[in-house]
Amino acid sequence: MPVKGLREIGEFGLISKIRNWTDASRADVVQGIGDDVAVVEMGKKVLLITTDILIEGIHFERSWIDPFRLGKKALAVNLSDIAAMGGIPKYFLISLGLPKTLPFSFVSLFYRGLKEMARRFQVDLIGGDTSLAQKIIINICLIGEGKRGGLLFRNGAKVGDDLYVSGTLGDSALGLKILQDKSIPKKPKGLIDRHLSPTPRIELGQALGRKQIASAMIDVSDGLLSDTKHILEESKVGARIWEDRIPLSGPFRKWVSPSSKDRYRIALAGGEDYELLFTASPKWKASILSLSHSLNIAITRVGEILPKKEGFHLIGKEGEKILPPQTGFDHFK
């Protein structure tokens, strides 16, 4: 049956079609469409290239986020993709679509935020493009470096591996919900910050890549369920996740009561956590624990990798099997 609209096919269905339309002709392309970044061979090293777009009214509203934080976040979400490969971020280009009526101070503050994030992760702005647009459009292309054999792809998960996630989940999605809710005058800062100012897990990604501790990795941008699915599809395996092991922050627990149906739905399907989700052989358990201590980042074992025929399911509090509900964010659904 021919596909009529993008709504039917969805964002990931569309990307999969695009992937089929593309032929890989160059031998130096190690990884094209289908992972967190593209990987291209350059002599002994590999170049990592990733791009992300932020559109006013879709990804952000000017009334929620100030230009300084917007600048930081625009770069942070790209850095997160390099983190998910275990790479070293280096240079970026930024293209902007801007309305004529936008105050100059908005742009200068935006660049201040961009610069702060760039300094923190030692990346340089090396170019871009500027155009008139109806709404603010921000596109960054970030270039990084990696070593062959030191990178982590989505396709390396093995049956018997543990599934881990860094930090806590759901804070960003809850923060966004609160930002959108006009009936909440006093907004909890911690949750809002997790949405507006994500931290890319660059050091953790590199540490997991360097010794190949992880077997597969992705950043949680679309939600735990959706991003786990990406690993499972690329690795051709199944998995189970224990619902009550999903790491929730103190503020999240305070805001969403344990009895609320939303509790796990937000943490499982809410996006923009920018945490790292990875698989690792059980032999690395102690190394992962010590990494968590040395970097001061919580790392939680939330599940395990199963043979593909077992599919993907959650285990509830009473040990019951739950089929994953509607997964994370899809732009067209």
User: Does 168 interact with ligand ADP (rule: CB under 6 A)?
Assistant: no
Of 35 and 273, CB closest to ligand ADP: 35
User: Does 81 interact with Mg ion (rule: CB under 5 A)?
Assistant: yes
User: Does 222 interact with Mg ion (rule: CB under 5 A)?
Assistant: no
The 10 Å CB-count burial string (b at 16+, else e) for 60-74 is beeebbebbbbbbbb
Report the residue from 48, 52, 237, 284 that binds ligand ADP according to the rule CB under 6 A: 52
| Residue number, nearest CB to Mg ion | 36
Where are the extended beta strands (E) located within 181-253?
214-219, 238-242
Query: Which string of x and - marks every residue 10-49 that binds Mg ion (by CB under 5 A)?
Result: --------------------------x-------------
Q: State how far Cα 138 lies from the chain centre.
A: 17
Among Mg ion, ligand ADP, none, the one that 33 touches (CB under a kind-dependent 5 to 8 A) is ligand ADP
Residue 127, H or E segment: strand 124-132
Of 221 and 279, CB closest to ligand ADP: 221
Q: Which residue has the tokens 């932020």?
A: 54
Of 87 and 251, CB closest to ligand ADP: 87
Kindly give, in sequence order, each residue whose CB lies less than 8 Å from that of residue 135, ignoring residues fewer than 6 positions away.
55, 56, 57, 97, 99
Residues numbered 61 to 90 that lie near ligand ADP (CB under 6 A) are 81
Residue 31, CB-side half-sphere exposure with 13 Å CA sphere: 20
User: Does 272 interact with Mg ion (rule: CB under 5 A)?
Assistant: no
Residues numbered 188 to 227 that lie near ligand ADP (CB under 6 A) are 221-222
Cβ contact 129:53 at 8 Å:
no
DSSP 56: B
Residue ranges that bind Mg ion, judged by CB under 5 A: 36, 81, 219, 221
Residue ranges that bind ligand ADP, judged by CB under 6 A: 15, 18, 33-36, 52, 81, 221-222
